[in-house]
Amino acid sequence: MSETHIDRQYLSAVLARLLTIDSPTGMTERAVDFVCDELRDMGISFELTRRGAIRAVIPGQAKGSDRAVAAHLDTLGAMVKQIKDNGRLEVAMIGHWSSRFAEGARVTVYSDNGKTTRGTILTIKASGHTYNTEIESQPVTWEQLELRLDARVSNGDDVRAVGINVGDMVAIDTNAEFTDSGFVVSRHLDDKAGVAAVLAAVRALVTGKVSLPVDCKILFTIAEEVGHGAPHILDDDIAELVAVDNGTFAPGQNTSEYGVTIAMKDMSGPFDRKLNRHMLDLCEANGIEHSRDVFKFYRSDVAAGIEAGYDARGSLICFGLDASHGHERAHIDSFVAVGELLVAYLQSPLLGSDV
């Protein structure tokens, strides 16, 4: 197995750039364009699906049975549900996340003809000077929120005159911060950190001129947060599918905050035992910090692919993430560990069909 190394600076730079690109599910074009540019720079061939997901290929020695690595470019977000008479907007969530973590978010509303408008998501009763203790008893629901536009609007007609309509996309600011201690604090690390780790692994293989045993399809999906995920981008030649996503670092979980975590099971059921065992062996053999975990309220690109009927072994490998789908934090060491495992995995032999 060739020695390759993950370029931490490249990984961090790619992640920082991705975190500046709004890509809620349904509006992923700019993020797709960015990743396509990175693949071109590395000389990796790729194609776009009709829906706009990316299927790249790193050629291997043997043909017929391929392996695939998937990460998703789409993030959580919101959509304009109603224009209210007071000039505020009611919003509906895109993806599954609590309204508790939307309160106070700075956002961009994307309207027709490329127009954007800035704003803030607030609770309906947002002023203690007006509502006193009532602000403490508001329910945690999306119906209790409204979007205040940074525009001179005081009624619904004013809002429509600005060019905003029901169905406009609302992207949530990341407020990304890269600390000197190696932590990244940001919304949407799920799964932009996974995308950055995958690109860093691909770059390590390309710069190291590594020969792979079989073709590897690098998949960047665009609707994982709403449960669609990988099925439309898979094909019958894929024998192994590995998704890269976040693992929840929290009490009661066993996710590694600074290493890679192998998911043994999520809400869709157990992952492939033999492929997971292979991943654990690769971590041991290559000195990669790792753990294993079980997730109760979680599904991924792998679950979507297996449930769609694809006959492939499936595994989920994770970077450690605190406060997932909220005010997220992770460490660069965990992203690097994911990249290192991918590099080792893609050089390893394809597993046989025996159980």
Strand (E) or helix (H) holding 194: helix 189-207
224 catalytically annotated: yes
In sequence order, the 6+-apart residues with CB closer than 8 A to the CB of 32 are 48, 52, 53, 54, 73, 220, 222
Distance (Å, rounded) from C-alpha 193 to C-alpha 14? 9
Cβ neighbours, 10 Å, residue 251: 4
DSSP state of 249: -
Q: CA of 285: how far to CAs of 167, 282, 351, in Å?
A: 51, 5, 17
DSSP string, 265-333: EETTEEPPHHHHHHHHHHHHHHT--EEEEE-SS---HHHHHHHTT---EEEEEEEEEBSTTSS-EEEHH
How buried is residue 180: exposed, middle or buried, by Cβ count under 10 Å (0-12/13-18/19+)? Answer: exposed
Q: Which of 38, 90, 224, 257 is catalytic?
A: 224
Q: Which two tokens stand for residue 70?
A: 């998937």
Burial 110-122 (b: 16+ CB within 10 A, else e): bbeeeeebebbbb
Q: Can you tell me the distance from the alpha carbon of 295 to that of 269, in angstroms, rounded to the nearest whole number?
A: 10
User: Comparing C-alpha atoms, which of 171, 196, 200 is closest to residue 75?
Assistant: 171
| Residue 125 DSSP SS3 | coil
The tokens describing 148, both together, are 């205040």
Query: Which residues have a catalytic role annotated?
Result: 224
